[in-house]
Amino acid sequence: MTNLEIPKYTLIHYVRKNNGEPYGVLVALKGEEGYHVGYSMCRKGDRFEKRMGLQIAIGRANFDTESHSLDNVPRDLKKVLPSFINRCKRYYK
């Protein structure tokens, strides 16, 4: 895999199991008007790879249409989404 270029002013939050092992990631990218949020989560039984997770989450954050919304976020990521959104609001004032 080639080097992943993370855009400037990007917020990244890894969602971790109780033992500290990551299994998901939330990403916020600065947009023309505010910010865009993307996510990636590993399926049960799979091993989470940070590069692949970031690549998927950044791709979803860049994909900005009405059909793509945060309603499709997996349940485990929805638990941490409100605090992440609050963090984004403060960061992208």
Give the Cα separation of 39 and 16 in Å (integer). Answer: 14
pLDDT in tens, 46-80: 899 999 999 999 998 887 544 456 677 888 898 99
41 neighbors 74 (Cβ within 8 angstroms): yes
- Phi/psi region, residue 45 (left: phi>0; alpha: psi -120 to 50; beta: rest), is left
Give me the percent of the chain exceeding a pLDDT of 70: 90
pLDDT in tens, 65-74: 444 566 778 8
Is the pTM value of this prediction over 0.95? no
Reference 76, options 2, 35, 23; nearest CA is 23
Give the number of other CB atoms < 10 A from CB of residue 89. 12
Give the Cα separation of 22 and 70 in Å (integer). Answer: 20
